[in-house]
Amino acid sequence: MKLYNTLSRSIEDFKPIDENSVKMYTCGPTVYNYAHLGNLRTYIHEDVLEKTLRYIGYPVKRVMNITDVGHLESDADDGEDKMLKGAKRENKTVWEIAQHYTDAFFRDMDSLNIKKADVVAKATDYIDQYIEFIKGLEKKGFTYIANGNVYFDITKVENYTKLSGMDLDQLRTASREDVEVDVHKKNPQDFVLWFTKSKFENQAMKWDSPWGVGYPGWHIECSVISLVNLGEQMDIHCGGVDHIPVHHTNEIAQTESYTGKEWVKYWWHGEFLIDNDGKMSKSKGEFLTLSLIEKKGFNPLSYRYFVLNSHYRKQLAFSFDSLASAENAYTKLKSRVKTIKDNADNKQANEQAAVKYKEEFKKCLEDDLNTANAITVLFDMLKTEDLNNSQKLDLVADFEKVLSLDLLKEETVEIHDELADYIEEMIQKRQDAKKNKDYQLADSIRAELLEKGIVLEDTRQGVNWKKIN
């Protein structure tokens, strides 16, 4: 298998530290709001990575953190506290916010057929271990105390910017420039390991420590959680490209300073989901969540299909038109598989051809997770005359170990005549509303049907509908 390594900035042959297993860490969500589609894109590609490793024969242990402790908006130690922001917005405690959005996150994961990590670690469960980690760095001379806070001194680290390849001036430019400067830092890139004083009054999440009552800095959690659950060295650390300059750079600095060893062999990063104006975020326009696209009538797995037709290292432009095109293609794919399933044949099996398609599919995945080409192999396999239908279904089941698109899942929901008449009547009202350019009414009709479990699909041939559970 070949995999792009951000650290070397090249595609490398993948060789795990232990040839019999793979240790993998994926940065999890900050649970102060619903997951953005851009974040979900990264989780989908990480899911493909893990399932590909298992598909080609590696046992995998994957660990993911849940950031349920105060985390600032910037990767540096500034900005607004996200957990506190969520609590104020919804008039709940930070603990209630954390649990609510953790549950919502895993509902999204289930809807997208993303496998749950073997170890899911809440940041707030590791406070004692953070303290021991900081004490270890303190003994080795990598920290200093200023204004009651414990800082990590980046000048004590050789090649601090080895992951990003930036110099410190570039890092300053990459960071947000519209935030308050921490005047207590010796160097602008130093970061807080433990806060006892910050600009947030009445911080809800605080714990006792040798340095006073306070809370951990953000960067520390991934380092400590991985050390506890995976040991001092691991094979793959995943995350979005936005984590490269600061968050992952700081993780490397503190972890390797603590252990004295190279920490991660392969750094894996997923690119941005963008719109016409560039990177999308939770603060721009309509907040793109999985529940939003469901309310607009889309199947969550259509989004997974949309994502799989792109490469994880390339930016992907999102629009509802492009998602609609993906859903149309996905629906046709499922229909083709169903047709094959419903039409058994007596054609003689061609084992050589079956092996060929399986090898082609595997090679695409081993080529730095080229899922778009893997899906092309799937389509070619379904169209070929070289295989009987039973073989095709066996290969679909095999490919589904990675693709996870529910291609073989039966959708059997009974529709009563009265309900069918109602649906057709509402579709006609919606069509009339669109002709009259009353798009608000048209959207409300779609939403009303969705609440009843009816999904509309606009096609060139007209409007199709289906009942979902």
Rounded CA-CA distance 451/160 in Å is 52
Q: What is the pLDDT of residues 257-284, one digit of tens each?
A: 999 999 999 999 999 999 876 666 554 5
Residues comprising the chain, all counted = 469
Which range, of 184-193, 229-238, 456-465, averages the lowest pLDDT? 456-465
Q: Which residues contact 426 (CB under 8 A, 6 or more apart)?
A: 445, 448, 449
Are 372 and 311 in contact, with CB atoms under 8 Å apart? yes
Are 381 and 357 in contact, with CB atoms under 8 Å apart? yes
pLDDT band at 153 (very low <50, low <70, confident <90, very high): very high
pLDDT the model gives residue 77: 47
- Decide yes or no: CATH 3.40.50.620 for domain 2-270: yes
Is the dihedral angle over the CA atoms 52, 30, 315, 380 positive or is it negative? positive
Which range, of 267-276, 299-308, 309-318, 407-416, averages the lowest pLDDT? 407-416
pLDDT the model gives residue 304: 98
Query: Measuring CA to CA, how many Å separate 85 from each of 14, 81, 98, 279?
Result: 41, 6, 12, 22
Are 195 and 146 in contact, with CB atoms under 8 Å apart? no
pLDDT the model gives residue 42: 98
Query: Residue 233 gets which letter from DSSP?
Result: -
Are 325 and 388 in contact, with CB atoms under 8 Å apart? no
Are 63 and 121 in contact, with CB atoms under 8 Å apart? yes
Stretch 113-121: mean pLDDT: 98
Query: Residue 72 gets which letter from DSSP?
Result: B
pLDDT the model gives residue 344: 82
The larger pLDDT score, comparing residue 96 to residue 331, is at 331
pLDDT the model gives residue 447: 85
Is the whole model's pTM more than 0.75, yes or no?
yes
pLDDT band at 407 (very low <50, low <70, confident <90, very high): very high
pLDDT band at 313 (very low <50, low <70, confident <90, very high): very high
Are 249 and 160 in contact, with CB atoms under 8 Å apart? yes
pLDDT the model gives residue 111: 96
**Looking at the predicted structure, is the pLDDT value of residue 412 above 90?**
no
pLDDT the model gives residue 97: 84
Specify the DSSP element, H or E, that contains 248. Answer: none
Query: Measuring CA to CA, how many Å separate 325 from each of 302, 303, 353, 439, 454?
Result: 9, 11, 31, 20, 19
**Looking at the predicted structure, is the pLDDT value of residue 370 above 70?**
yes
Strand order of the β-sheet with 149-152 is 143-146, 149-152, 191-195, 215-216
CB atoms within 10 A of CB 146: 15
Strand order of the β-sheet with 234-240 is 119-122, 60-66, 22-26, 234-240, 264-270
Residue 218's identity, in one-letter code, is W
Q: What is the pLDDT of residues 342-358, one digit of tens each?
A: 998 889 999 999 999 99
pLDDT the model gives residue 279: 63
pLDDT the model gives residue 227: 98
Query: Residue 181 gets which letter from DSSP?
Result: -
Q: What is the pLDDT of residues 163-208, one digit of tens each?
A: 999 887 776 655 544 456 788 999 999 999 999 987 665 667 889 9
Work out the mean pLDDT of the chain and round it to a whole number: 89
pLDDT band at 75 (very low <50, low <70, confident <90, very high): very low
Q: Outline which parts of the chain fall under CATH 3.40.50.620.
A: 2-270
Which range, of 291-305, 311-325, 408-422, 436-450, averages the lowest pLDDT? 408-422
Rounded CA-CA distance 65/17 in Å is 22
pLDDT the model gives residue 63: 98
**Looking at the predicted structure, is the pLDDT value of residue 76 above 60?**
no
Residue 356's identity, in one-letter code, is K
Rounded CA-CA distance 400/275 in Å is 29
Are 179 and 76 in contact, with CB atoms under 8 Å apart? yes
pLDDT the model gives residue 413: 46
pLDDT the model gives residue 178: 44
Cα–Cα nearest to 457, from 427, 425, 419? 427
Residue 4's identity, in one-letter code, is Y
Which range, of 50-59, 93-102, 205-214, 290-299, averages the lowest pLDDT? 93-102
Highest average pLDDT, of 200-204, 292-296, 359-363, comes from: 359-363
What is the DSSP secondary-structure string of 283-311?
Answer: TSSS---HHHHHHTT--HHHHHHHHHTS-
